Chains A and B, each alone.
Chain A
Amino acid sequence: MTEISQQAEPPVKSLFESDLRTRRRNAAETRFRLYGMAAVAMGIFALIFLLVSVLGNGVSSFRQTSIELQVTLDEAVLDKTGSRDPEVMKKVTTIGYGKILDQALADTLAAHDIDVSALTPKQLSGMKSDEAPRRLRDLVLADPSLVGQTITFHALATSRIDGFEKGRVTMESAKLDSNISVEQLEVAQAMKDKGLLSMPFNWGFFTSADASELRPEAAGVGVAMLGSLYMMLIVLVLSLPIGVAASIYLEELAPQNRWTDIIEVNIANLAAVPAIVYGILALALFINFLGLPQSAPMVGGLVLTLMTLPTIIIATRAALKAVPPSIRDAALGVGASRMQTIFHHVLPLAMPGILTGTILGLARALGESAPLLLIGMVAFVKDYPSAPPAGLMEPASALPVQVYQWTQRADPAFVERASGAIIVLLVFLVAMNATAILLRRRFERRW
């Protein structure tokens, strides 16, 4: 004992000073932390930039300028026979309603002492949207008893006046614009001062179909939303059962050999194939070979199904793999058959993973435009498709394609529409991804 304690003691190391190696390691850690924070900051910046630009451009599309008019629904024009029968009244076209609206516009302006002498009758009539007579006609046909009355009607203003209200159109730009004149804007300003212009919530944006180049104020995403919904239904109904069945077969039942390896590699490859290639495939197979109609949600749904299947199969196989083998042993050990083992134990445990994968696959399909362009979904669709199943074969549009189409148009009013449609699309995507996250949280694996 004494001998040992007499040996030279090692110098005492201070705990309060770090040595060179420790300092280097700490510096490396600090650097790495900074890189990480910089990367995250860039991501957040990009996201904020995207949101600000989309919201900045698009939010205004949810409100639309309209002109408050006192409209006298003249029986002599609208229902000559006095029958109040919508079938008979249908003979009066929008031209007839347009004349009534022109009259109402002139009367209303006169009643408010607004001087319109600088405007030609055509310019005066052009203050309102060409869509306004159609809406008035729909209103009257839905309720023929209105004929003969004087009603307050909010007529859609033309997109230039809407732009004037939203700051997009100015007196300067009007001088160069053949669609609007400075005089018209001055009248609009006077109407605004008298409180005749209002900007209510734009329900039409969600219920209307696309409109022509000349009537951006009437364009909406209704048909595109319905088309996207139809396609998502087809994708869900087809790809979930097929994908899950294929995964169960590959993961639980198929012998593990060269063939299943090849299939596995190819499924991974399919998941990486660019969407446009699926579009070419669909064009060749569904439209040219099978003769299905162009622009139909059915075809769009089929091609998106093909595109989504590999994603779902990969997610499902991962979810099945994550179920511990001990659960399978337990079930087989008490004499469950393979099918019972899969359906009673493995599949329920894998379900959250499967659903998460499916929703993410659906979200990707919802935002996909390239394959839809190739199968003719760029067509201008003015009418709603009917209810499924027949409606699945009728032309429809899709949200991402609608965005693409609107960004192609010259009129700046469509930029606002495109951004509005992007917002709608983003809301759907965020909702779907949030559902996926919720599902994952809710059914966190418990074993």
Chain B
Amino acid sequence: MNLMQTPVSDTTALKPRITASGVQVYYDTNHALKDVSVNILDRTTTAFIGPSGCGKSTFLRCLNRMNDTVASARVEGKILLDGQDIYDKRVDPVQLRARIGMVFQKPNPFPKSIYDNVAYGPRIHGLARNKAELDEIVETSLRRAALWNEVKDRLSAPGTGLSGGQQQRLCIARAVATGPEVLLMDEPCSALDPIATAQVEALIDELREQYSVVIVTHSMQQAARVSQKTAFFHLGNLVEYGDTQQIFTNPQDPRTESYITGRIG
């Protein structure tokens, strides 16, 4: 295992985009997330790792209020985006989700054309004043998702007809098209083959230059490859959070150590 590939970068100078403090999540009586506090830094890739069911997705979905759609979910605590509480009564989650994009575990393109998939977000948010601008947004988004060259000749073909890796990159393009400030990715590579995974990872590295990226992953190698910060979750607790290099080489908590050496999980 070569965990030493992490690009060494100094994250101390970056300011936090998202500040979570004392976040608790309940599904009915199931206390799924216990007192999580963490800062998500600007222009940084943060990896969430931990065994299945430890609450990684739950926390991720708190960050763009996707948990609102789960009837049984109850969120407590404070999550600030640029200092503003996203759970404030005045916040419209619809508006929030345009600023905090999300990519899901299973590629889920709309059963529409490739073009319409990418153009949907800009259309409903009125980001383009005319067709030319919309074309422009679609093209740049697809380029940033490293998909443009593969699909530029068949933009009107259905997005569901692409391969799994292409579909996931289409979903990334779709998320990027609304111009989000934070991009949340929930195990984006779990359905992909190694080549597609490598493409998505390269993409994440590129996106990090402008956005703050949060990625949930099951693969520790992936966390080591793409992230600068890593958070380790266990049984609903945030056990340890720190520089990726430090987490993988010198974990402070015995549970983290057991997990990364393969003894739990």
Chain A residues at the B interface, C-beta cutoff of 8 Å? 255-256, 324, 326-337, 340, 344-345, 349, 446-447
Contact = CB atoms under 8 A, between A and B. Distances in A.
Given A329-B66, A349-B111, A334 B178 contact: yes
Contact of A335 (B71, B106, B121): B121
Interface string B34-72: 000000000000000000000000000000101001010
Interface in B119-140: 120-121, 124-125
Top 5 closest A-B pairs, CB basis? A335-B98, A326-B108, A334-B121, A333-B102, A335-B97
A321 to B, nearest CB: 15
Given A256-B71, A345-B110, A446-B111, A333 B101 contact: yes
Tell which of A255, A330, A336 has the most Cβ of chain B within 10 Å. A330
A327 B120 CA distance: 13
A444 to B, nearest CB: 11
Contacts of A344: 120, 124
Interface of B: 64, 66, 69, 71, 94-98, 101-104, 106, 108-111, 120-121, 124-125, 158, 160, 171, 174-175, 177-178
Given A255-B71, A326-B104, A447-B160, 15 more contacts: A324-B108, A326-B106, A329-B69, A330-B110, A333-B64, A333-B97, A333-B101, A333-B104, A334-B120, A334-B121, A334-B175, A334-B178, A335-B95, A335-B124, A446-B158
Contacts, number: 67
Contacts of B71: 255-256
B175 A333 contact: yes
Contacts of A255: 71
Contacts of B111: 327, 349, 446-447
Contact of A327 (B95, B98, B110): B110
Contacts of B178: 334-335
Contacts of B158: 446
A440 to B, nearest CB: 16
Contact of A446 (B108, B160, B175): B160
Contacts of B108: 324, 326-327, 329-330
A137 B155 CA distance: 67
B104 A334 contact: no
Contacts of B171: 330
Contacts of A334: 97-98, 101, 120-121, 124, 174-175, 177-178
Nearest to A328: B69
Nearest to A324: B108
Contacts of B109: 330
Contacts of B95: 335
Interface on chain A toward B: helix, strand, loop, or mixed SS? helix
Nearest to B94: A337
Contacts of A324: 108
A331 B110 contact: yes
A409 to B, nearest CB: 55
B94 A329 contact: no
Contacts of A336: 94, 120, 124
B207 to A, nearest CB: 16
Contacts of A337: 94
A262 to B, nearest CB: 17
B51 to A, nearest CB: 23
A267 to B, nearest CB: 20
A28 to B, nearest CB: 40
A255 B102 CA distance: 25
Contacts of A335: 94-98, 121, 124-125, 178
Contacts of B102: 329, 333
Contacts of B121: 334-335
A336 B120 CA distance: 9
Contacts of B97: 332-335
Contacts of B104: 326, 329-330, 333
Contacts of A331: 110, 120
Tell which of B104, B109, B110, B158 has the most Cβ of chain A within 10 Å. B110
Contacts of A329: 66, 69, 102, 104, 108
A447 B66 CA distance: 22
